């Protein structure tokens, strides 16, 4: 029996108040969640903060989770919403301070002389497209799991992944054939 096979039992124990059981869930998912958030934010410190916020929120709301459903899409969905909320708050603060949207700094600063790479190409994708692509390709989510995590229709996730992949291939100068 793998850790993922035992996950529903850990969820039920966490819902009963076991911090040890929730700690096991954190252990199972923290590496994948942090990797997803690091790719999404292109900033390790921000990603680690978001991961921490995600786990705190999940612990506070674990009682509302349906243990018959997969835990990972629910957890990554929380992370995605925390990321979006943080970006909206950051943009609102800048706007209130009088900064124009075009003056927003870029998240990724490429090394001088380096050819366009995957991180930069991924960062250039629209946020929902980037999140769907990262979940499905980098985190090995099914399209259905990604749809659940992002609260998007399945067809939209499939389109985001297909279009995002096409854009990455084009940006990296490759052939999709």
DSSP string, 65-101: S-TTS-HHHHHHHHHHHHHHHHHHHHHHHHHHTT--G
Number of domains in the chain: 2
Same domain, 154 and 176: yes
Which H helix or E strand runs over 154?
helix 154-171
Same domain, 50 and 103: yes
* pLDDT tens digits, one per residue of 44-65: 898 999 999 999 999 999 999 9
Same domain, 102 and 119: no
Same domain, 79 and 22: yes
Q: What is the CATH number of the domain that holds 177?
A: 1.10.10.10
Q: What is the CATH number of the domain that holds 54?
A: 1.10.1740.10
Final residue of a domain: which of 107, 130, 160? 107
Same domain, 78 and 7: yes
Is residue 70 pLDDT above 80, yes or no? yes
Final residue of a domain: which of 107, 132, 162? 107
The whole-number pLDDT of residue 99 equals 42
Task: Give the domain extent around 172.
Answer: 113-177
* pLDDT tens digits, one per residue of 136-147: 988 889 999 999
Is 107 in a helix, a strand, or coil? coil
Same domain, 84 and 15: yes
* pLDDT tens digits, one per residue of 81-91: 999 887 654 44
Q: Is the dihedral of CA 37, 83, 4, 146 positive or negative?
A: negative
Final residue of a domain: which of 57, 89, 107? 107
d(CA 95, CA 142): 37
**106 class by beta-carbon count within 10 Å (0-12 exposed, 13-18 middle, 19+ buried):** exposed
């Amino acid at each position: 029996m793998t850790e993922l096979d035992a996950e529903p039992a850990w969820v039920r124990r966490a819902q009963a108040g076991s911090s040890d059981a929730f700690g096991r869930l954190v252990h199972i998912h923290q590496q994948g969640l942090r990797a997803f958030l690091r790719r999404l934010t292109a900033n390790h410190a921000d990603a680690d903060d978001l991961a921490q916020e995600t786990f705190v929120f999940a612990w506070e709301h674990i009682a509302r989770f349906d243990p018959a459903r997969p835990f990972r899409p629910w957890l990554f969905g929380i992370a995605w919403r925390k990321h979006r909320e943080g970006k909206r708050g950051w943009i609102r603060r800048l706007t209130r301070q009088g900064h124009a949207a075009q003056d927003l700094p870029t998240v990724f600063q490429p090394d001088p002389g380096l050819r366009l790479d995957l991180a930069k190409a991924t960062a250039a994708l629209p946020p929902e497209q980037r999140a769907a692509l990262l979940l499905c390709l980098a985190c090995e989510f099914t399209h259905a799991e990604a749809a659940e995590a992002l609260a998007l229709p399945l067809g939209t996730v499939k389109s985001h992944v297909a279009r995002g992949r096409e854009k990455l291939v084009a940006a990296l100068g490759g052939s999709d054939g």
